[in-house]
Structure 1
Amino acid sequence: MSHVDINKFIHNAESVSRDPDGHMLELPPWDEREAARLAQEEGIALTADHWNVVHFLREHYRRNGRAPSGRVLSAALEEAFNDYGGRRWLYSLFPRGPVVQGSRIAGLPLPPYSADASFGSVE
């Protein structure tokens, strides 16, 4: 049995598996520079509000694992950010959807059933 150096594996950007939309399938090392790069690819200039959502998503994943569906994660986001304006506010930050764009920027895999058009833009 060969021994794999996990540090070399997880730090090799080419080893990160992504779905066709660019979402990470595994959880490689993530930092705010990576998030800023991914946000730039999405056409988003991260503000303190964006960071609050991104950090919420990462903490939610850390505590609960992958959400059972996009709707469950969407509901958790809406509840957590209700005082800021809920769903409408979240979509103002992430026009392609707080679940889809937020998860990508947070370096998290999409929950199942997130490809539903209802998780897209409000435009």
Structure 2
Amino acid sequence: MPTKTYAGTDVDLNEEGFFTAPEQWSEEMAPEIAREVGVGELTEQHWQVIKFMRAEYAAKGTGPTVRALGKTSGVTVKELYQLFPKGPAKLAAKIAGIPKPRGCI
């Protein structure tokens, strides 16, 4: 299992680069991960999605799909693709330190 260091902390990742232990994540890691995946500077809207992803994961054991994210996060699907251009649910999950949502390829 690969490990990576974010914000001075070693974390366990799977082969696709998703956290295997979401409790290892901290908000200080998010900007580093965002830069690494090509998202750039995190805005308030990014944080709204990231926090929503973590809350959904905590409540349901998986992150939401793009459709569910667009309906329930307060950010439209169009805005999600502007914020996370290469796959909103997948990139947001990675930045939020949760496993890849079901249904993401």
TM-score norm. by structure 1 comes to: 0.69
1:46 to 42, 52, 55: 42
CA distance in 2, matches of 1:81, 1:26: 23
2:67 to 66, 75, 95: 75
CA drift of 1:113 comes to 3.2
Question: Helix, strand or coil: the match of 2:88?
Answer: coil
Q: Deviations over 1:78-118 (max 9, x none)?
A: 10246x4x211100000011111000000010023311xxx
Which has the larger strand fraction? 2
- CA contact under 8 A between 1:103 and 1:109: conserved in structure 2? yes
Q: Deviations over 1:17-47 (max 9, x none)?
A: 3223x11223242111111110010222100
Segments of 5+ residues of structure 1 without an aligned counterpart are 1-10, 116-123
Segments of 5+ residues of structure 2 without an aligned counterpart are 1-7
Residue of structure 2 in register with 1:63 after alignment? 59
2:102 to 112, 117, 122: 112
Aligned Cα RMSD in Å? Answer: 2.1
1:33 to 11, 28, 44: 28
Count of equivalent residues: 97
TM-score norm. by structure 2 comes to: 0.79
Identity of aligned residues (%): 31
Question: Helix, strand or coil: the match of 1:13?
Answer: strand
